[in-house]
Amino acid sequence: MLRRCVLALTVLAFAGCSLLPDLEESDDSANRPAGSGARYNRPYRVKGKTYVPLQSAVGYKERGRASWYGAESGPRTASGIRFDPRGLTAAHKTLPIPCKVRVTNLRNGRQVDVVITDRGPFSPDRLIDLSKAAAERIGMRGTAEVTIEYLGG
């Protein structure tokens, strides 16, 4: 158990993905339940649209388009850690940070487990942004149709 915790903390410390626009806390944040957590798990606004992160992702499963980005290390993610394209991480608009999800490339059936450490993608046709390493693991070039399934916090 301790080994898993150390591994999870290591992944969070050395991974992420972000070249995102500034996230502005939404006025809707005043309506959130008390104790709703860190700033990155509160409602926020990007390009005039408000996003409300899920309080719990238990049972979450969705199908959509994945993209990848961030071939270079450096920028901080919404969770505050530095992005590492070699980490198995991803960005999602509303899943809680951090949480672990399984991403399956529907074209070839390959899967990768990633930690959500960032917000995005803010393109209406995209569901998740994967780090370069995660995209390579599932044989993704450009974009791909995927399923995302919540594995745990």
**Domain range summary for the chain, segments of one domain joined by +:** 2-152
Measured distance between the N- and C-terminal CA atoms of the chain, rounded to whole angstroms: 14
CATH for 2-152 (1.20.1290.10, 2.40.40.10, 3.40.50.2300, 3.90.660.20)? 2.40.40.10
Work out the average pLDDT over 34-60. Answer: 87
| pLDDT band per the 50, 70, 90 thresholds, residue 1 | very low
Environment class of 42 (CB within 10 Å of its CB; exposed 0-12, middle 13-18, buried 19+): middle
Nearest to 101 by CA among 59, 141, 147, 151: 151
| pLDDT band per the 50, 70, 90 thresholds, residue 35 | very low
Tokens of 145: 């149709």
The answer to whether the Cα torsion of 92, 142, 12, 73 is positive or negative is negative
Structure confidence at residue 53 (pLDDT)? 97
pLDDT digits (tens, 9 = 90+) for 16-25: 333 334 444 4
